Structure 1
């Protein structure tokens, strides 16, 4: 075999190690505890847009299905419920089928949680971390409402546009048949093809107030303009790349249980396999997870930008095709 050598050069891997040391120093200075949680768990992600990987394992309970974690979120929230306080982790995470210039099936996720913090506070810390790793000033940090971006780039209100009109627009934009697609699928396509490439070109762009249907594990709140429900979350973009996704964390166990169930119903309708729900996370929420905010950041992508690389595999020792 001729592809045994690393995907990244040894010099790049040394520079990567130095950047990761700076990440750890950033949180050590702020008295945030570094933790390690399992790569394998008894539950996967029910998110319709994520494909979890699983394996069969022999445990004290016998043969069981264990899931490779798409992020360390569920285990870290159990630590929060146990009273750990602010925590961070650089975790190996897995998402099936995601291989390309910006994706790899196995990747490094930087995730941290701040009990008692607002989204505004976490946005500020997130952009500070990004600036710490970049060699040059990326420019100012600017905030954009999700609806305002669609109005600016596509002249539509994503919350109010008729579904048939949205499907036609998505079909024409993506060159795909979106005639039976759900609203969020159309919006995601338009976001990725039209809006995301414009973001982070003149600084760090933060997108807020996503549709309530895209809240995932975040709270929801009312849009101050018209009272529509929106997701209490943000995403951070730089040079057209999505770097981070943050939530005002949902702490209501009953609501979280309902969202997991709805996800699996949506998966069934889409012909996707059901994913085991994390009952221990639900128990932790019932026991009382403190209110606060958390964010997941694609560390390989940030390192890619910091080192001026064009592909994510250029900053990985052995990307998926060579693993």
Structure 2
């Protein structure tokens, strides 16, 4: 019967308790809970993210982005840009639990509409934010304190290759040992190869008994993070894994508008080469970065967290209605 929820009522009750626990965690730390738009006039340029797009037919005709079809709008892949604009306006440390949307596959760990937790701590670096996230994971998952490992050491431990020094050919050789030769043969982008190697070989094994923070990602994968002043080869970015599942992605946030604009433009250049749609750059976000305070932020997938907390093997089991029954 397709009208029924995909999760059991008992699992939905557990879900509600976990979300209440998360909310209380941040209220006790005096973070302000905020709400930001789900629809925006700009999407994201990241070549690995795909936005849902629509047109607002009742838009003010004076808006510069207006077309004969209406005003193009994008469902947000995360609330990041708007939350940073609040930070730049003086909000102080903030958090949000909301829906986000990505036009990607659905499967064991994916639903195109999902619940995200995002929070920002003013005057924290990414190491301090990892400390706080470790506390949240122990609370919600009843797990041990997380292990920490650099991106470089993770590759050396599992694949015996240095991702910061290896050539593209050397990385492909590591892929050949994993029988990925045909997949990698025509790939010319080093970061795409690194991400595939990480996903196939490292992600499944690094955090079986307890969560693991992977940090100091290559500078070429900085996204919205600062570059390390101690090692310009790496960015102040981290991800969190547990039992083969990626849970979160965090940054010591870049507050240089010129550098961020350059990164977005580079993304769009790569999009053009790959035959993907170029994305409109969020100029309001770029303009706000001059006022962005020193802060660190992280986005965490609530549905995946609840999967782990309730020992479920499929995301369908913790969602009231997946896309198949929406």
Q: TM-score normalised to the size of structure 2?
A: 0.94
1:307-322 correspondence runs (5 A): 307-322=310-325
Tell me the equivalent position of 2:209.
202
Change (3 A) 1:276 1:171: farther
Tell me the equivalent position of 2:300.
297
Tell me the equivalent position of 1:219.
226
Q: CA deviation at 1:177?
A: 2.6
Change (3 A) 1:67 1:174: farther
The equivalent position to 1:279 in structure 2, one of 272, 277, 283, is 283
Q: CA deviation at 1:115?
A: 1.1
Q: CA deviation at 1:172?
A: 4.9
CA offsets, 1:119-146, max 9 Å, x none? 1211011111111112x3x223211011
Contact 2:45 / 2:278 at 8 angstroms: preserved in 1? yes
Tell me the equivalent position of 1:60.
60
Q: Distance in 1 between matches of 2:54 and 2:323?
A: 18
Tell me the equivalent position of 1:179.
185
Q: Distance in 2 between matches of 1:146 and 1:215?
A: 12
CA offsets, 1:3-62, max 9 Å, x none? 221111111111111111111111110100111111100111100011111101121235
Contact 1:140 / 1:202 at 8 angstroms: preserved in 2? no
Classify the secondary structure of the residue corresponding to 1:234: strand
Tell me the equivalent position of 2:109.
102
Classify the secondary structure of the residue corresponding to 2:203: helix
Q: Let me know the Cα RMSD of the aligned residues.
A: 1.3
The equivalent position to 1:250 in structure 2, one of 230, 251, 254, is 254
Contact 1:164 / 1:179 at 8 angstroms: preserved in 2? no
Contact 1:143 / 1:208 at 8 angstroms: preserved in 2? yes
Tell me the equivalent position of 2:146.
141
1:10-49 correspondence runs (5 A): 10-49=9-48
Contact 1:168 / 1:178 at 8 angstroms: preserved in 2? no
Tell me the equivalent position of 2:130.
123
Q: CA deviation at 1:228?
A: 4.5
Q: Distance in 2 between matches of 1:188 and 1:174?
A: 16
- 1:155 has 2:160 as partner: yes
Deviates more, 1:201-210 or 1:71-80: 201-210
Q: TM-score normalised to the size of structure 1?
A: 0.95
Show structure 2 runs of 5+ residues with no match.
Answer: none
